[in-house]
Every structure is written in C-alpha cells, then in structure tokens.
Amino acid sequence: MRGVLGRLGGMVVRPGRTLRAVLQGEGDGVEPLLLALATVAALYPATLTKYALLWRVDPGMAFGKLFSSSGFVWARLANEGAFCGVAALGFYVLGWMARRPVRAWDAVSAGLYLYVPMAVLALVGGLATRAGAEVPWLPQHPVDGWWVLEGGRVHLDRFYLKLVVEMAWPAVAGLWTAWTVWRDRGTAPVAAQ
C-alpha cells in the first residue's frame, strides 16, 4: 500500500488490509488529522472565514475559539477523537496480548485512520446539505446538534441512530482488524521491534 491517497482510499475500500499495513508502520497518524481539519474546513467554510478574519484582529482569541476545549473544531471532532483514542489503546493492548507488539505510534496511527470513514460520511452529508437534501443523521452535524436536541428535549432514538451511523463502519473495520491480529497471533509479529 503506497502513498497517502492509497492509504486514505484504502480505508474506504479495504479498511482491514489498510489498518494492518498501518499497524506495521506504513502510515502516519498526521495524515488522518490533516484530513479531519480539511473535512471541517470543507463543511464549514463560512465559520472558518469568520475565524480567519478574527485572526487578523486577535490571533490568540481566534486560535482559542477554534481549538480550545469548547472551541469550534473540538466540538466537531470530540466524539470521533475519543473513538479513535479508544481504538488506538485497544490496538496497542491487543498487540501485547497477542504477543505481537505494536509500536505505540503505529497503534495511534491506526486508531486515527478509523476517522477516514467518518470523514467520508460527513462529506457526503455536507454535499447532500449543499444540494438541498438535509440528512441530519449523517456526521456533518455534531452528535449533540439541532436534530438530536430538537424541541428543547433530547431525542435518544436520534442520538443512538446518529452514533450508529457515524461509528458503525469504523467500529466494524477496527474490530475485524483486531480479530485478524488475534487470529494470526502465532505467526510473525505485526511490527518490528
């Protein structure tokens, strides 16, 4: 599997194979992070333009509003980041349990690569919204957005639907990869020490 686009596209077409390659050191966790920032920029250009104008007046305030714990980017990527973090920890621990140790950065990179299917769904939802077909259960809106909190109350059915739609594809890919690593634990190690 060669190149950034091959790995990012591989997460859509063959996520299990791509994750195993990333666990062997072929990927870099920075690539899906840049994809996450590009996805947010593509979905919310007007908001980011507002922050870019604020940057000219007060760069510290603009950076804080974008990246602080209650900032714009964090609010859009918090659930996905938590999911990827748990997956990275799972890959690392599974490597040790299977006696096929995985380097910590490779486990983090594989966890971050699980964001790619979520980004694809968010971009599809964003394109549908721009075309006039609002699809609120896709991840272009945050999980605690207007559709879930409509009418002054939390709609748990909508919340769970949104979580399943957003997280099912990467969860299945991650669990499948974990299962294949565990199944093949008697063969050569996943990553060189």
Query: Is 192 within a domain?
Result: no
Number of domains in the chain: 1
Residue 107 lies in a domain: yes
Determine, yes or no, domain membership for 155. Answer: yes
Percent residues over pLDDT 70 in the chain: 94
Cα(150)–Cα(160) distance, integer angstroms: 15
In a domain, 16, yes or no: yes
Q: How far apart are CA 113 and CA 87, in angstroms?
A: 10
Q: What is the pTM of this model?
A: 0.79
Closest CA to 178 of 167, 168, 190: 190
Q: Is the pLDDT of residue 193 over 50?
A: no
Contact 119, 36 (CB under 8 A): yes
The Cα 9–Cα 4 span in angstroms is 8
Q: Is the pLDDT of residue 105 over 50?
A: yes
Q: Can you tell me the distance from the alpha carbon of 150 to that of 75, in angstroms, rounded to the nearest whole number?
A: 18
187 in a structural domain: no
**Residue 193 belongs to some domain of the structure:** no
Q: Flag whether 168 is in a domain.
A: yes
Q: 26: domain range? A: 4-181
Chain segment 107-138, per-residue pLDDT in tens:
999 999 998 998 888 899 889 988 998 888 88
Whose CA is closest to 118, among 172, 71, 65?
Answer: 172
Q: Is residue 84 part of a domain?
A: yes
